[in-house]
Amino acid sequence: MHELAITQAILSIVLEAAEAAGARRVTAVELTVGALTGYVDDSIRFYFERLSEGTLAEGALLRIRREPGEGRCRACGGAFPVEPPLLPACPLCGSPDIWITGGNRCLVERIEVEDGDPHPGGEGHPQRQ
Partner 1 sequence: MATHIPVVKAILSANDAVAAENRAAFDAAGLLAVNLMSSPGAGKTSLILATLERLPPSLRAGVIEGDIASTLDAERIAARNIPVVQINTGGACHLDAPMVRSALSHLPLPDLDLLFIENVGNLVCPAEFDLGAHLRIVVASVPEGHDKPYKYPGMFQKADAVVLNKVDLMPLHRLRPLRLPARPVDPPPGDPALPPVVSDRPGRG
- In 36-110, alpha helices (H): 41-51
- 126 lies in the site for partner 1, by CB under 8 A: no
- 35 lies in the site for partner 1, by CB under 8 A: no
Size of the site for partner 1 (CB under 8 A): 43
CB of 58 to partner 1, least distance (A): 16
With contact defined as beta carbons under 8 Å apart, do 23 and 116 qualify? yes
CA distance 51 to 61: 14
| 76 labeled part of a ligand binding site | yes
| 90 labeled part of a ligand binding site | yes
Q: Which of 71, 60, 78 is nearest to 18 (CA)?
A: 60
Cα separations in angstroms, 123 against 17, 120, 128: 24, 8, 12
Q: For the window 54-93, what string marks contact with partner 1 as x by the rule CB under 8 A?
A: -----------------x--x-------x-xxxxxx----
Task: List contacts with partner 1 (CB under 8 A).
Answer: 1-2, 5-6, 9-10, 12-14, 17-18, 21, 23, 27, 36-38, 71, 74, 82, 84-89, 96, 98-101, 104-115
